[in-house]
């Protein structure tokens, strides 16, 4: 369990597209939350499902982890990272050190997701002192009208201010999130968003296409017919625009939705894509080890009630069969720039493999199949064809 994810569910409001497990609160119950995480941690240790191996990565996601006060974050990290980790090898082939090896817990990559309006000089200094060495800023757009439509709590001007504060505090690994393929009615300019993001000189960018998830405001708007999503053509155009512009600016397109400057790949997320075991703490958090995937109760109240009673907050688990594990490894591998070994593709898929290469969806070299950007646009269908 060298990789740990901790879910912090609290938000000031729900974004229009968000279906994550969140709890909207005016006042954040920080002390109760930290106690609940400590209780779950103790339950996992008692059940023999938590080891004390040094951690390679820790990711505070949400929700909005930056809403936790600095002392709560410090307490949380001190509990979950009891011992320094050994500095692991870089996930970037050909690169060794990305400036994080001496930061945080002895080389552990420690990431916090943050909203730009939560970043302050005092808070950033406290995060650094607690061992956080990587920040993922939820920017999403640089258009004020789009931010209002998304129900975001920050303004455009706060993004640049947050970046300046983080750099001054010593953070040399900062990621920005952007969303593309926004509805035509918003008259969005994704090209402008890309240029605004590049002007801030981030080390990493996560670029996601808008999708409609059940039980979200966006789902209600589209089901009522009051809002139409953009078409597949513009979705593809903007996905390829991001690839062209960001790789042209020196970023590596190392996973479908992720770009990094050399030495700044997200080591935590890379663990998911390579099938490494990981632990999850908090409402809705998932864990995976030895072919078993487990997940927690999603609502904060139900999760807190369970652990306060000394009960496991686990809602379910599943044992993946050999075929499921092979399929998942194939899908996850093709999401990355490393691709998959040709031997991992079933014999029945060899004809599809050759056809996909002829059509520019896959590149085949050195015994490896790698998806092209156009291949990534059709990845679900491509994997289905390769395995049937």
Based on the domain organization, do 355 and 243 belong to the same domain? no
Tokens for 367?
A: 């015994």
- The domain in which residue 369 lies consists of 322-386
Burial class (CB in 10 A: 0-12, 13-18, 19+), 248: exposed
Based on the domain organization, do 133 and 223 belong to the same domain? yes
Question: Which residue in 244, 40, 13 sits closest to 138, CA to CA?
Answer: 13
Whole-angstrom Cα distance, residue 300 to residue 140?
25
The CA R_g of the chain, rounded to the nearest whole Å, is: 21
Q: Which tens digits make up the pLDDT trace of 252-265? A: 999 999 999 999 99
Q: Is pLDDT at 349 greater than 70 in this prediction?
A: yes
Q: Which tens digits make up the pLDDT trace of 106-165? A: 489 999 999 999 999 999 999 999 999 999 999 999 999 999 999 999 999 999 999 999
Q: Is pLDDT at 96 greater than 60 in this prediction?
A: no
Give how many domains the chain has, as a whole number: 2
* Mean pLDDT, residues 69-85 taken together: 83
Name the helix (H) or strand (E) containing 300.
Answer: helix 300-308
Does pTM top 0.85 for this prediction?
yes
Burial class (CB in 10 A: 0-12, 13-18, 19+), 38: middle
Which of 273, 302, 330 is the last residue before a domain boundary? 273
Tokens for 136?
A: 């993922």
Q: Is pLDDT at 90 greater than 50 in this prediction?
A: no
CATH of the domain at 371: 1.10.10
Tokens for 120?
A: 């302050």
Based on the domain organization, do 191 and 98 belong to the same domain? yes
122 in a structural domain:
yes
CATH of the domain at 48: 3.30.750.200
Burial class (CB in 10 A: 0-12, 13-18, 19+), 168: exposed
Question: Which residue in 22, 121, 122, 112 sits closest to 76, CA to CA?
Answer: 112
pLDDT of residue 100: 33
Paired sense of beta strands 292-296 and 10-11, if any: unpaired
203, 171 contact by CB (below 8 A): no
Tokens for 42?
A: 């103790």
135 in a structural domain:
yes
197 in a structural domain:
yes
Q: Is pLDDT at 97 greater than 60 in this prediction?
A: no
């Amino acid at each position: 369990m060298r990789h740990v994810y901790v879910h912090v569910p609290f938000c000031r409001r729900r974004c229009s597209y968000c279906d994550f497990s969140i709890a909207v609160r005016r006042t954040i119950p920080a002390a109760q939350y930290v106690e609940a995480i400590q209780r779950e941690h103790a339950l996992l240790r008692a059940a023999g499902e938590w080891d004390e191996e040094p951690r390679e990565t820790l990711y505070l996601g949400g929700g909005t982890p930056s809403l936790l006060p600095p002392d709560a974050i410090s307490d949380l990290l001190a509990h979950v990272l009891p011992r320094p980790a050994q500095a692991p090898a870089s996930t970037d082939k050909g690169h060794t050190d990305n400036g994080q090896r001496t930061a945080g817990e002895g080389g552990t990559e420690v990431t916090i997701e943050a909203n730009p309006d939560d970043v302050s000089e005092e808070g950033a200094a406290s995060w650094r002192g607690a061992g956080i060495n990587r920040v993922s800023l939820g920017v999403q757009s640089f258009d004020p009208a789009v931010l209002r439509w998304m129900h975001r709590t920050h303004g455009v001007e706060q993004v640049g201010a947050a970046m300046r504060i983080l750099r001054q505090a010593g953070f040399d690994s900062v990621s920005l999130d952007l969303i593309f393929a926004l509805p035509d009615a918003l008259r969005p300019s994704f090209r402008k968003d890309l240029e605004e993001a590049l002007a801030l000189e981030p080390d990493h960018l996560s670029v996601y296409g808008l999708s409609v998830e059940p039980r979200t405001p966006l789902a209600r708007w589209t089901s009522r017919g009051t809002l139409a999503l953009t078409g597949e053509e513009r979705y593809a155009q903007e996905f390829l625009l991001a690839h062209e512009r960001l790789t042209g600016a020196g970023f590596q397109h190392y996973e479908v939705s992720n770009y990094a400057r050399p030495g700044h790949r997200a080591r935590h997320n890379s663990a998911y894509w390579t099938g490494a075991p990981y632990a999850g703490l908090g409402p809705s958090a998932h864990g995976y080890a030895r072919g078993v995937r487990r997940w927690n109760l999603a609502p904060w109240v139900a999760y807190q009630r369970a652990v306060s009673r000394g009960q496991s907050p686990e809602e379910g688990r599943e044992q993946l069969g050999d075929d499921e594990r092979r399929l998942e490894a194939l899908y996850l591998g093709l999401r990355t720039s490393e691709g998959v070994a040709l031997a991992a593709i079933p014999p029945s898929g060899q004809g599809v493999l050759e056809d996909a290469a002829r059509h520019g969806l896959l590149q085949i070299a050195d015994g490896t199949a790698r998806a092209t950007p156009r291949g990534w646009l059709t990845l679900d269908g491509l994997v289905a064809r390769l395995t049937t």
